[in-house]
Amino acid sequence: MKRSSLSNSFLNIILVFFESALTLLLRLDPELRKAAYPLAKNGTVVCLRLYLPHVEVFATFSAKGVLLDASMPPDRLEPDVIINAYSVQVLNAITTHDTETTEKLQMRGEQGQVQLVKQFIMQLGFGSLIQSLLKKIKGDDKKSKPTDAELNQKKENYQLRIKEQQTQINTLTIKNRELETTVKELQSKNKVLMIAIAVVTLITVIALFMLFFN
C-alpha cells in the first residue's frame, strides 16, 4: 500500500491543481511543448517520491498532456524514471529554470529518459506562465509600440504607395486628355462631313433643277 502522510482527497486536489497548471503552461509555452514531445511520444512515466510530506506521485506524459495521479498507471509495471527528493527541492526546480537546482534531484532510470526529464523540468517554470498570461493580456509590445526602424519602413512604404498612385493618376489624366482630343477631332471631322454632304446635296438639287427646266 502506498505510504502517504497526506489524505487522498487533499492530495487529489493538489494534483488536479498542478495538472491544470501544466496543461495551461503547455498551451502557452511552445518551448515547453517541444521539451515534452519526446516524453509524450515514448509515453514516459515519472515517479516522484517526495519527502516532507512523504508521498508518491506519478506523472504520465501523453498526447493529452501530463497526467498526474497518486497511483501507477494500470498498464505499467514500473516507472521509467524515479525522482527522490524533498518537496521543497522539487518546488524550487519547477519554479525556476536553474540547472544546478535540477541536477541536485536524485533521478534513476535510463540515461536518455533521465536527461529528457531534466530538460523538461529546466524548461518548466511557473514564472513563465505569468509572463505568457501577461503577454496574452497586454498583447505583443512590438505590435503596440513599433520601433523607429519599423516606423521609418512604414513611412517609406506609404511614400512609395503615394508615388505609385500619383503616377497612375498622371497616366490616367494623360489618357483622358488624349481621349478628349480624339473626341474633339471626331466631332470636327463629323461636322466637316455633314457640311460636305449638305454642299453635295445642294449641288445635286441645283443640277437636277437646271436639268429639268432647260
Which residues, listed in sequence order, are joined to residue 56 by a DSSP beta bridge?
49
Q: Which candidate, 115, 32, 105, 54, places its Cα nearest to that of 80?
A: 115
Cα–Cα distance between 118 and 198 in angstroms, integer? 104
Strand arrangement, sheet containing 65-69 = 65-69, 55-62, 45-51, 81-86, 106-109
Asked if 62 and 80 count as a contact pair (C-beta separation under 8 A), the reply is no
pTM: 0.57
Residue 191 has pLDDT above 90, yes or no: no
The per-residue pLDDT for range 126-184, each reduced to its tens digit, is 555 566 566 666 655 555 566 777 788 888 888 888 888 888 888 888 888 888 888 88
Query: Which of 54-63, 161-170, 200-209 shows the lowest mean pLDDT across its residues?
Result: 200-209
Q: Which pLDDT belongs to residue 128?
A: 57
Amino acid of residue 7? S
- 124 contacts: CB under 8 Å, gap ≥ 6: 22, 25, 32, 35, 94
